[in-house]
Amino acid sequence: MLIKRKYFRWNRLLLCLPVVILIFHMLSVSEFHQSSRSKEKPKKIDHLVLGPAAGEGLPDRLQCQGIRALNKTSSRMFQKNSDSVDHVSFVTVFTVYNSTVDSRPVDLVTVGNTSYNKVERSMAILNIFVNFIQVTMPQSNVIILTDPTAEIPLHRDMVTIQPIQGEYSRDKLMLQRIRSYIAFLETRLEKLTVMQEKVSHFIFTDSDIAVVHDLGRIFTDYPSFDLALTFRNNKEQPLNSGFIAVRGTAEGLQRGKAFLQEVLKIYSTKFMKASRMLGDQLALAWVVTSHPKFDIKRFSKREAFLDKIGGASVLFLPCSSYNWTPPEGAGQFHGMPLDVKVVHFKGSRKRLMLESWNYFLSSSDISDMLCLILKSGRTKYDF
């Protein structure tokens, strides 16, 4: 009799469980609706909007008072005394489209005192990408891989434009990007082995990022990796293709190239039908996670780790520090880690990239600027 009653209670408890989950879910959904309602219309926003700074009270998260940071990243770290650190170059694929050159004046977007058409906007992003590197890694240079037919109006000391044959149309750009990376690594390998040029490490990135801390350290702190990728706890897309580091030694270049060739092969055979923005990330994840000994659970912790994938030693770095972007939509948001090194202005956050640079120009303080980004990063902007 007693046993029976106990069983009955357990049964009721189990029945309650889905209800509890449902209520939690409804809470988060209604919170989301509230917050989106308070932002007037779902229209994309044409001015800077500051919200609350997520992660308040958490010891390992940036704490802000207004847009002043209470935790300062030392500004002394940006001194030019990096003799002990190896040379690092940033590499990005960038092109300008003929169709956007003809864009109408209706498409103008104003940030600060400047109005930008479509081409000017992507040039502004590229310039600010370079500006941040100049501030945080003044010894580094930037290499832009582009369509030989494209003319990129960018003339700066630290920037080299390297044309690479290929098909840079919009719907093939992600595929072409991997091809351009591979072709670039081939040219580097030749320069290193045949022409005896000095070793330089490479970080391949999207151009809508701000490097806010010296990244050269990864090559000395983790001396054995050939190639580094950034991961996050996301089942479908655990790896972001917007940040790939390759060690500049002959072995590193060779293995980095072989790894990317494998990604390219998987992309062209399995993911050609994927949306034009996703194929490379799906292929990247496939190459890594289909490796028999790979433990996918390691993506759920925010800790760097090394693993052997094919012939390459791969360093996995957490996106939360090396490719930080606030979660989209109603995703949980626990603020910004104190050791953030790269901010990625994905999707409709390009305005914020420009606003952040402008704010940095007036405040000269990277940490304060990070507070601006933290408070504003979930807003969808007009560009």
Ligand X SMILES: *[C@@H]1O[C@H](CO)[C@@H](O)[C@H](O)[C@H]1NC(C)=O
Q: Could you list the residues that contact ligand X (CB under 6 A)?
A: 59, 63, 70-71, 98, 112-113, 147, 149, 338
CB of 189 to ligand X, least distance (A): 28
- Taking the C-alpha atoms of residue 252 and residue 244, their distance in angstroms, rounded to an integer, is 12
Q: How far apart are CA 90 and CA 88, in angstroms?
A: 7
Backbone angles phi, psi at 240, to 5 degrees: -100, 135
Structure tokens at 32: 């989301």
Q: Among residues 101 and 306, whose Cβ is nearest to ligand X?
A: 101
For the bound state, the minimum distance from the C-beta of residue 117 to ligand X, rounded and expressed in Å, comes to 17
Sheet holding 312-318, edge to edge: 159-163, 141-146, 88-93, 201-205, 239-246, 227-231, 312-318, 305-309
Contact 285, 257 (CB under 8 A): no
User: Which residue number, 58 or 135, has a Cβ lying nearer to ligand X?
Assistant: 58
Q: Which residues of 37-72 are buried (b: 16+ CB within 10 A; e: fewer)?
A: eeeeeeeebeebbeeebbbeeeeebbbbeebebeee
Query: Is 73:366 a contact under the CB 8 Å cutoff?
Result: yes
Q: Whose Cβ is closer to ligand X: residue 151's or residue 221's?
A: 151
User: Cα separation of 372 and 375, whole Å?
Assistant: 5
Determine how β-strand 141-146 pairs with β-strand 159-163: parallel
For residue 339, the minimal CB distance to ligand X (Å) is: 10
Q: Which is nearer to ligand X, 18 or 57 (CB)?
A: 57
Distance of CA 348 to the CA centre of its chain: 14
Q: How far is the CB of 366 from ligand X (least distance, A)?
A: 15
Minimum separation from the CB atom of position 65 to ligand X (A): 8
Q: Do 116 and 108 form a contact (C-beta atoms < 8 A)? A: yes
- Minimal distance, residue 30 CB to ligand X, in Å: 31
Instruction: State which residue, 112 or 311, has the beta carbon closest to ligand X.
Output: 112
Q: Is 112 or 347 the residue whose CB approaches ligand X more closely?
A: 112
Q: At what angle do helices 366-376 and 350-363 cross, to 10 degrees?
A: 150
Which is nearer to ligand X, 142 or 338 (by Cβ)? 338
The smaller minimum CB distance to ligand X, of residues 82 and 176, is found at 176
In the bound complex, what is the minimum distance in angstroms from residue 362's beta carbon to ligand X?
8
User: Please, what is the minimum distance in Å from the beta carbon of residue 356 to ligand X?
Assistant: 15
